[in-house]
Amino acid sequence: MLSRFSRRCYCTSVHRPWLFLGLGNPGDKYKGTRHNIGFEMIDVFAESVGIEMNLVNFKAIMGQGFVGDIPVILAKPQTYMNLSGESSGALAAYYKLPLNRVLVVHDDTQLPCGVLRLQEKGGHGCHNGLKSVMHHFRGNREFARLRIGIGKPPGQMDPKAFLLQKFSMPTRERMDGALAEGVDALKLVLSKDFGESWRLFNVEQKYKHLRQHTILAA
């Protein structure tokens, strides 16, 4: 269990901590699959800011540290996607965090592959991981999300099979670029409240997709 000192240190900081939760499935079997892009985003962000993911608590692999002077808790629930809320709810409660200091990173089939979107709040969009998180937040949807587009299944492909499929080489390159942009998005969340800066990020992501589509169609 985390030490009381650790919790006291974080919660008495000048800045209230942020909790970033990446959703996915544990184990090598699911590594690199579309449904695990939330895990990947947390790992890439942790490496970029020098936070070690070396703790295991609340059914999650975790890391704690500071980005500038802002305390940050990173977590990857290990309960499997559909039970992500078991870990998420316990973490938020332990650190006594209001939900406006929680951000969930997850895959999204409603966004084109590699397109990101910051969202202040919202529903679950039939995403089972988000459903579980919202359930353990007592139905509250007032938490932020970083949605990472993975595109829709082609043709008549089973959606579940699509989610558990690894990225092709060209798509993998696109997702790696998106993860780098995701680092910038999470840093933006830490530095700016929801508002114009988040909106501008989303607009840039929208036009990035339109530019890509134009290039491919040319």
Q: Is pLDDT above 50 for 4? A: no
CA separation for the pair 61, 40 (Å, rounded): 13
Average pLDDT rounded to a whole number, residues 185-203: 89
Structure tokens at 109: 């089939």
The whole-angstrom distance between residue 95's C-alpha and the CA centroid of its chain comes to 19
Q: Which residues contact 158 (CB under 8 A, 6 or more apart)?
A: none
Q: Which residues are catalytic?
A: 35
Average pLDDT rounded to a whole number, residues 30-38: 97
pLDDT at 122: 81
Q: State whether residue 86 is helix, strand or coil.
A: helix
Structure tokens at 1: 């269990």
CA separation for the pair 165, 120 (Å, rounded): 29
Q: By percentage, how much of the chain surpasses pLDDT 70?
A: 89
Average pLDDT rounded to a whole number, residues 176-198: 91
Domains parsed from the chain with CATH numbers: 18-216 (3.40.50.1470)
Q: Is pLDDT above 50 for 5? A: no
pLDDT at 9: 55
pLDDT at 213: 55
CA separation for the pair 48, 37 (Å, rounded): 16
Q: Is pLDDT above 60 for 32? A: yes
pLDDT at 195: 81
